[in-house]
Structure 1
Amino acid sequence: MDEATKQPKKRGRKPGTPKTGGRVKGTPNKATAEVKSLARQYGAEVIARLADIALKSANETAAIAAGKELLERGYGKSITMLSGPDEGPIPVKNEVDLSGLSPEQLRIIASIKVD
């Protein structure tokens, strides 16, 4: 604590200064890359096992889970459609309360041109 002002000392960078350190954007994490590389060694074998479970398992839950994994790997996750009441569109409230704004603020908003 700063004894002169009795305020806690601020840590970190000052507002407006650029971030420093860390990985450059787009550079892969080395640990993650290593784990992915190790996991990929088993990819074909695991996919074959999933297919075997999906097609031959007596346990229906396991067969469904394995089939789902295979399909998601091959085709991507399925899209979840969202809908509002009675399968219609989702209602969206597009109203903004401007009653708390000053006349000057309202003039500024009114002068904004929207293309």
Structure 2
Amino acid sequence: MTATAFKPGQSGNPSGRPPVDFEVRQLAREYGQEAIENLVAIMRGDNPALAKAASEALLDRGYGKPVQSVGADPDSVPVQAITLQLVAMTADSEPEGDRG
């Protein structure tokens, strides 16, 4: 056991999460509509990276973040494996002069 480890049954945060100041939460909610309108404007803008980030922020808040599975499904292929296969296929199909 390391010197910084907590004893069994001892919390690392005995006070719990600090309460959110009601006034701050209320102020944030007052600007919610404007914030959404700004995200929409950014989403429709000319910068693809900002548009993607704004789109994701809107979708996450409107529908919730996508569920990430924790358990292993024996019939599925991990996303990382698929990504690695796609990267390898793309690298194999590029002409020699284009490789970085």
- TM-score for both structures, normalised by structure 2: 0.50
Higher gyration radius (CA): 1
Q: Whose relative contact order is higher, 1 or 2, with alpha carbons under 8 Å and at least 6 apart?
A: 2
Task: Name the structure where helix makes up a greater proportion of residues.
Answer: 2
